[in-house]
Chains A and B, each alone.
Chain A
Amino acid sequence: MAFLVRCPNCGDRGVYEFRFGGEVVRRPSTSEAAPVWMKYFYARRNAAGNQREWWYHSLGCRRWLLAERDTTTNEILSTGWPGEVQA
């Protein structure tokens, strides 16, 4: 398999057990103007290096988790539950 993701519940699992949820982006408040929302919908940092991102363990415990990954090597640096680790 391509690489392993450490699920906080299930341990190290192949990446194909997970669904990639994209980089973490801050959701604007409902009072923000349309251009701010358009940036939230579409603009991405798409970092070449460490990136905070969402993963869903679809073929395991079926929970969403946060991970930090080096996108140049696919090394998962850390994982945790939302609310327990910084988004």
Chain B
Amino acid sequence: MMVFRKNRMWGKHPLRDAYDVVIVGAGVHGLSTAYYLGQMGISNVAVLDKGYLGGGASARSTAIIRSNYLTAEAIPFFRESHKLYQGLASELSFNLLFDEMGRLDIGHSESSVYWLRLRAEFNQLLGVDSRIIGPAEIKKLAPQIDLREGKTLPIMAALYHPPAGVVRHDAVVWGLARGADRAGVEIHPFTEVTGITRRNGRVTGVETPAGRVSAGMVVSATAGWTSTVTAMAGLDVPIVTFPLQACVTEPVKPFVHITISSADLHVYVYQTDRGELVIGGPVDPYSTYSQRSTLDMLQELAASTLELLPALRDIKIMRQWAGLCDMTPDYAPIMGQVDGLDGFILNCGWGTWGFKAAPASGRTTAELIATGRTPDLIRPFALSRFDDNALVNERAAAIAAAIH
């Protein structure tokens, strides 16, 4: 027992009354920002969270890592994040159980195959390993998929993305937290930010039940609750909170070793190391902050999964849950500085595409704080794009966007 106590992965600290940087939210984005700030020599940093570490969207993510997006803005950003994930376990010296199993995005109609082809072209142009394959190759990669012809939604082709994978979500949270702690960053769970203080168009700190904390910079890095954080800074952002539900089956022997996604069926599925099948779908058809799961969505997920993998007809569902997604109008994140509010940095709008973005979001946010300049990689994602009507429209690459 003493072994565990002596080797705490991050320390406890009394909350001080001033830091250079206060990060709101101790999920993957907040902790990644803190970790990279530490690597850049900025360690007078506190990460505050109303709950425990990685207990919000980070705990509920299905943790798929991929970079086969659609737009010239998003592909380089997610490609960078994918690359960082590939080296993250050795950088943090922490096993993240990254399994590069690959991914199939299935096309069931001429229209969806057109979009997959477009993505393949953009991916190849921007250096992402991604190509269109036909039913013969699909059968080799995932023999359990129902390729019979004459179905309402026949399988015509797939976008194959070999370097896609799945990562252990808690390990990412813990590894980043330990790395940040070792660099001198303080992590304060169960310390809710209840207010953001401002003076003369500048954010000056945050209020917590444990007292007021002044800060040179405040970073909003929550997922699901961004609107409640930005409201404290007097800001209405283009975000609406929708839940995304997922479920896990009982464990079975190795059955399929690739993530399979279908935008037409609104479902994605993969098998974990433990043998459980993880099934996720679109966001719910209404906004809410409730994290209760529903029978309606479970039925939809089950029906869609059986269209792809009918052999699962007798498998039992063990768990179902919902996580909150900050959906933006153009299915892209909101990052960087806020015009007219100095000292407030956004790392939010992570919708259903956030977990895979954490290393790049943290590193670019840290770079912005360290240098005062917005890195090119996140320039297209500024909040001001909604004033300039310069939206990114990453819609076609998000399964969850299908019916949103």
CB of B308, distance to nearest CB on chain A (Å): 23
Flag A12-33 by CB within 8 Å of B: 1 or 0 each.
Answer: 0001100110110000000000
Within 8 A of B (CB), among A59-87: 71-74
A61 to B248, CA, bound (A): 37
Cβ–Cβ < 8 Å partners of B386 in chain A: 38, 41-43
Closest A residue to B228 by beta carbon equals: A48
B72 in contact (CB, < 8 A): no
Q: How many chain B residues touch A (Cβ–Cβ < 8 Å)?
A: 25
CB of B335, distance to nearest CB on chain A (Å): 16
Chain B contact surface mostly = loop
A10 in contact (CB, < 8 A): no
A35 in contact (CB, < 8 A): yes
**With known contacts A42-B386, A45-B227, A46-B227, A74–B288 Cβ distance under 8 A:** yes
Cβ–Cβ < 8 Å partners of B241 in chain A: 46, 48, 71
Q: How many pairs of residues, A versus B, come closer than 8 Å at their CB atoms?
A: 67
A45 to B352, CA, bound (A): 20
B227–A71 contact, CB under 8 A? Answer: no
Closest A residue to B386 by beta carbon equals: A42
**With known contacts A2-B294, A42-B238, A48–B225 Cβ distance under 8 A:** yes
CB of A32, distance to nearest CB on chain B (Å): 14
B236 in contact (CB, < 8 A): yes
Cβ–Cβ < 8 Å partners of B329 in chain A: 41-42
A1–B227 contact, CB under 8 A? Answer: no
Given contacts A46-B227, A72-B290, 16 further A-B contacts (CB under 8 A): A1-B295, A1-B296, A2-B296, A20-B286, A23-B240, A23-B287, A38-B389, A42-B329, A43-B238, A44-B239, A46-B239, A48-B289, A71-B241, A71-B288, A73-B290, A74-B290
A-B pairs with beta carbons under 8 Å apart, 26 shown:
A1-B295, A2-B284, A2-B295, A2-B296, A16-B296, A19-B285, A22-B240, A23-B287, A38-B386, A41-B329, A43-B236, A43-B237, A44-B238, A45-B227, A45-B231, A46-B237, A46-B240, A48-B227, A48-B228, A48-B241, A48-B289, A71-B287, A71-B288, A71-B290, A74-B288, A74-B290
Residues of A within 8 A of B (CB): 1-2, 15-16, 19-20, 22-23, 35, 38-39, 41-48, 71-74
Residues of B within 8 A of A (CB): 225, 227-228, 231, 236-241, 284-290, 292, 294-296, 329, 386-387, 389
